[in-house]
Amino acid sequence: MCCNPMPCVDSFVITPINEQERGKINSLMATELILIRHGNAIRINGDYVHAPLTTLGQSQATLTGQYLAKKQQPIDGFYTSPIRRAQETAAIIGEALGLTAEIKPGVREVEGLEVPALAVVEFLSIFDFIEDYLDENAGKPIRWPVEGRVSQAITEILAAQSRQRIVVVAHSGVISAVLAWIFPEQRLKWWLTTVGNCSLTELRAEGNHFTLLSANQTQHIMPSEATTQAPDRAVQLTKKVVETVKQPAIALKNRS
C-alpha cells in the first residue's frame, strides 16, 4: 500500500510511467484518478477563499486542458472543489474537454477549524492501535480530520466512476490529504509537500489498492509559466503543526 520512498521536500516530481506501462494499466480496466491543483490565484484583501485566477493561472489552466485533450484519452468523470479558484480552473479545463465539472464539497481546501483536531490525532497516532487503524483503512473512508472528509469524497467518486478515468480539480492541501490517506506510513512526507499550480498527480485504483503513477507533473506547462504558489494559511499551519507534532511522536515511538 506504499509507494517508493522520497525525501521530505516542499515540492517534488515523480516521473510518469511510460506509455507501454500505462497501456498495461489501461488493459487492467482499473480506475485512473487525476488530481489537479488549481491555477495561480490572487488574494483579494488577504482573502484566499474567494481569490480568482490570475492571468497566469488562466494560462496554466488552458495549457492543462489542452494537454489532457491532446492525450485523446476519454475523461469519464470531472469534479471540482466549490472554491472559486478551483471552479475557475475547472471551467477553463472543461472548455478544452467539452465537459462541465460537478462540484464536490468534500474536496474543498483545508479549513482552519480542522487544524487543531488534526494535530491531536496525529500525535495520538504514535499508539499502535491508531496507526493500525490508518494502515488497515488505507484507501477506505476513515474518521480523521481533513483526510476523513476527503477520503469520503474520493471514495464516492470512485464508486460512481468505477474503471473509468476521472479528473478532480482541487487544492494543495487536498492532494496532500489524499496521499496521506492512501499511504498512511508516509503521512509526514505528504503533508510537507506542496504541489505546483495545475500540476497533475495520477493514481490507479483497484478496489482499495492505489498505485501512484505520477505526482506533481508539470511537463505540460512551459517552465516560464510554472509556479508553486504558497497554499492557504490553514494549509501552511497544517504543515507546521503536523511537522511539529509528528516528528517528536516518531522519535518517541522509536525510543520505546
> How do residues 188-224 score in pLDDT, each as one tens digit?
999 999 999 999 999 999 999 999 999 999 999 999 9
Q: Are strands 77-80 and 102-103 parallel, antiparallel or unpaired?
A: parallel
All three cell numbers of 183: 499511504
**Dmax (CA) of the chain:** 56
Amino acid at 71: K
Res 6: pLDDT? 37
Question: Is residue 3 very low, low, confident or very high in pLDDT (cuts 50, 70, 90)?
Answer: very low
Domain boundaries, the chain: 19-255
**CATH class of domain segment(s) 19-255:** alpha beta
* Residues constituting the chain: 256
- Give the rounded distance of the alpha carbon of 163 from its chain centre: 20
All three cell numbers of 187: 503521512
Question: Please, which residues have CB within 8 angstroms of residue 189's CB and are 6 or more apart in sequence?
Answer: 6, 7, 8
Q: What is the mean pLDDT of residues 102-128?
A: 92
Question: Is residue 1 very low, low, confident or very high in pLDDT (cuts 50, 70, 90)?
Answer: very low
Write the secondary structure of the chain as one string of H (helix), E (strand) and C (coil).
Answer: CCCCCCCCCCCCCECCCCHHHHHHHHHCCCEEEEEEECCCECCECCECCCCCECHHHHHHHHHHHHHHHHCCCCCCEEEECCCHHHHHHHHHHHHHHCCCCEECHHHCCCCCCHHHHHHHHHHHCCCHHHHHHHHHCCCCCCCCCCHHHHHHHHHHHHHHCCCCEEEEEECHHHHHHHHHHHCHHHHHHHHCCCCCCCCEEEEEEECCEEEEEEEEECCCCCHHHCCCCCCCHHHHHHHHHHHHHHHHHHHHHHHC
**Euclidean distance between CA atoms 171 and 108, whole angstroms:** 7
pTM value is: 0.88
CA distances from 69 to 12, 96, 195, 215, 241 (A): 25, 6, 22, 19, 39
Question: Is residue 255 very low, low, confident or very high in pLDDT (cuts 50, 70, 90)?
Answer: low
Q: Find, among 130, 86, 137, 132, the residue nearest to 109 by Cα.
A: 86
**Euclidean distance between CA atoms 214 and 6, whole angstroms:** 13
